[in-house]
Amino acid sequence: MASGYYDLETLKRQFHSRSVSYNRFRNITEQDIERIKGKIDQMNKSLLKTNQSRENDGLDKYIKALRFLTSPTVYLDYKTFDEKILHLILAVDPDFVTYKSFLTSDITTLEEIDKAEDVKEKKRLQERRRIGLDIFETNVRKQIGVYDPNFLKYERLLTLTLFKTEGFVSDIKVRSLHQLIKKAELVKDIKPVTPLGLERLKQIAQRWSIEAKDPKDLNSLAYNILCRFKDLQLHNIPEQIILFILIADPNLDLLRIFEEESTYPKMEERAKTELGFYGQGLINVEKQYHDKFEPEKQISTWTK
């Protein structure tokens, strides 16, 4: 039993050590994908024949795929690491369960832990992260029979490029809203957003309100804006942030709170209570949006 475990770990290290030549699937074509799927079908049929007395589970496929992909003759089928990692994922996790489970797992980020100033709070967050990662790994093992943490980075790119997900992705637990709010700080000018571009963004906002599983789920909204910007035809960061505002704060209430409160702590408290988010970068974008596209709009009783 122990020997088998160490053999598997050796195979994993041997395979992933070759990732230095990984090229982000840039040269993978649809023909390559079909060729790889064909090879996997052949191997699965062979695996079923040799394992008729027991279940042909994910671990069987994982081990056989690793043995094949680290064999001296693999070059006859695959010349690049990108082809090999694609083979491994399509053989073991073709539905991208690893990445999808990660998106719906409540895992404390390292950034949150670093921001904690109190030692007890830092330890609490570290423990929360450990528990979240354990639950995530357990869920993946239950669904596909094996867990390989390296799958995350590859599956993320695959789902966003080669295998695009149709429609809006929902139930995201990964803290995408926090990432989007930080990204808003990069916007110094919204000049790239034209009136024609704004109309396109309004159409996307309307689609979200109709098609999204929960239109009020701002974390899932932020994920779609940040990770699926090509599918949504978002051309730059200002468009990403303005789309968020059009959906999450069409009345510019964050700007209203900014005008009505005199201190940043009070602004943040009110915004998080009333809107569910706060960010000084977002306030800046809302101010620019108001001045450029809706200058006649009265923000609060304190302003004209």
Q: What is the pLDDT of residue 161?
A: 79
Comparing 138 with 51, which gets the higher pLDDT? 138
Q: What is the pLDDT of residue 154?
A: 94
Q: What is the pLDDT of residue 32?
A: 93
**45: pLDDT confidence band, cut at 50, 70 and 90?**
confident
Q: Work out the average pLDDT over 277-297.
A: 92
Burial of 129 (0-12, 13-18, 19+ CB in 10 A): middle
Q: What is the pLDDT of residue 131?
A: 93
- Give the CA count within 13 Å in the CB-facing half-sphere of 6: 3
Q: What is the pLDDT of residue 51?
A: 55
Across the chain, what does the average pLDDT equal? 88
pLDDT in tens, 159-177: 887 877 667 888 888 889 9
Give how far Cα 127 sits from Cα of 102, 123, 130, 219, Å. 18, 6, 5, 23
